[in-house]
Amino acid sequence: MKWIIGLVGLVVAGGACAADAVHYTAPGKAAVDLVTSALPRVEVKAGAHGDAPSAWQGVNLIDVLRAQGAPVGTALRGKALTDFVRVTAADGYQVVFSLAELDPDFGGRKVVLVDKHEGKPLDAKDGPYRLVVPDDARPARWIHSVTAIELVEASTTERQPKH
């Protein structure tokens, strides 16, 4: 009986955040587990550390952010130009991207949240999700074992935009 209660407790406690999910947070929004199945799938060919390019499949990070209501495109103006995205991994490793760096109207940097390499799910060491940033000269932002993606507002003044 005791073990049943323990099991139920575990399931309830774990219910807030699924084990293999990526947690998404943004200012003023409730935290969610990301569901990317409705987003367009993309493939990039890239190799880290001078490896021969190989194929990675997933979704564009900017599409994830747009789907979550992040201010992109014409909404990316004023204070939102200080917004950045912080990505955290299971081992505590973190990287950031500015929202404008990712937005196609600005930097348009390709960053893909991948769940497959050469068509196969990522292995336990890197998965279930990692980022691939083909145009970074060093692969240090190819963060693996992603657990959280946070949109962060970094504005520190009250200045109102003129445009």
CA nearest 143: which of 92, 100, 105?
92
Does residue 143 belong to the site contacting ligand MTE (CB under 6 A)?
yes
Instruction: Give the binding-site size for ligand MTE (rule: CB under 6 A).
Output: 11
Residue (32 or 48) nearer to ligand MTE, CB? 48
Q: Which pair of structure tokens corresponds to residue 2?
A: 């005791």
Residue nearest to ligand MTE (CB): 89
Residue of 17, 39, 93, 101 that binds ligand MTE (CB under 6 A): 93
Residue (46 or 80) nearer to ligand MTE, CB? 46
Residue of 7, 8, 140, 154 that binds ligand MTE (CB under 6 A): 140
CA nearest 152: which of 69, 99, 84, 93?
84
43 residue type, one letter: E
DSSP 159: P
Q: Applying CB under 6 A, which part among 22-30, 72-80, 97-105, 134-142 lies near ligand MTE?
A: 134-142
Under 8 Å between Cβ of 131 and 147: no
- Shortest distance, position 140 Cβ to Mo ion, whole Å: 5
Does residue 82 belong to the site contacting ligand MTE (CB under 6 A)?
no
Bridge partners (DSSP) of residue 3 are none
Residue of 81, 139, 150, 152 that binds ligand MTE (CB under 6 A): 139
Does residue 145 belong to the site contacting ligand MTE (CB under 6 A)?
yes
Q: What 3-state class would DSSP assign to 20?
A: coil
Under 8 Å between Cβ of 61 and 44: no
